[in-house]
Amino acid sequence: MGKAEAAPSEHQEQVLVVNWMDITHPSEARFLAAVPNGANKSRASQARFKKEGLRAGYPDLLLDLPRGPYHGMRIEMKRKARSLSKVSDDQYVWKVRLEDQGYYTVMCYGHAEAEAEITQYLNQGPFDVLAYLEMWYGIEPYTRDELVEVLGRIYEQEES
């Protein structure tokens, strides 16, 4: 058996991640979905999916559960054998686009790396608007009471 045959495929690695989520994080797994970009499709299916909005390079796994200062998590799965995995230009572009919009975006080589990243992401705790404002807008941290007061003033200014 050759080296390429011995290493699990990207599909096999991704299936392991989804199964792991279903078993270890069933509540959070309800928010995990896959994008079939890498699926082998006929030319007719490829054209139909493209018309429906499938975009080259979009990450494989979506975890639409806000944590810490992030809106959600996006995972681009790769084979554990890095020599058999290439990140495309489109994948790099999507990574930067999504990070700029507040998503935690990672390229994971193998299921173990993806599981570690998901665990780290989930351990950040629920979405934190103060951490979000500080991280993305450079706003100094407020206490919750101060934030309510500031947002109230902004709302009053918009109303007048």
Residue 74 has pLDDT above 90, yes or no: yes
Whether residue 118 sits in one domain with residue 148? no
The mean of the pLDDT values for the chain is 87
Q: CA 58 to CA 37: how far, in whole Å?
A: 7
Q: Give 13's contacts (C-beta < 8 A, 6+ positions apart).
A: 77, 78, 79, 80, 110, 111, 114
3-state SS class at 120: helix
Whether residue 74 sits in one domain with residue 146? no
Q: CA 105 to CA 73: how far, in whole Å?
A: 6
% pLDDT > 70, the chain: 92
Q: Which domain holds residue 71?
A: 3-126
Whether residue 97 sits in one domain with residue 26? yes
Whether residue 97 sits in one domain with residue 58? yes
- What predicted TM-score, i.e. pTM, was given to this entire model? 0.80
Q: What CATH number is given to the structural domain containing 58?
A: 3.40.1350.10
pLDDT band at 1, cuts 50/70/90? very low
Whether residue 156 sits in one domain with residue 121? no
CA distances from 50 to 41, 43, 69, 97, 98 (A): 11, 10, 32, 19, 20
Whether residue 68 sits in one domain with residue 20? yes
Whether residue 110 sits in one domain with residue 65? yes
Whether residue 143 sits in one domain with residue 95? no
Residue 23 has pLDDT above 60, yes or no: yes
Residue 4 has pLDDT above 70, yes or no: no
Q: Give 146's contacts (C-beta < 8 A, 6+ positions apart).
A: none
The pLDDT value given to residue 30: 98
Q: CA 160 to CA 153: how far, in whole Å?
A: 11
Q: CA 42 to CA 44: how far, in whole Å?
A: 5
Closest CA to 63 of 19, 124, 110, 105: 105
Whether residue 154 sits in one domain with residue 83? no
Question: How many residues belong to the chain?
Answer: 160
Domain total of the chain: 2
Whether residue 137 sits in one domain with residue 92? no
What the block records as the tokens of 125 is 């705790």
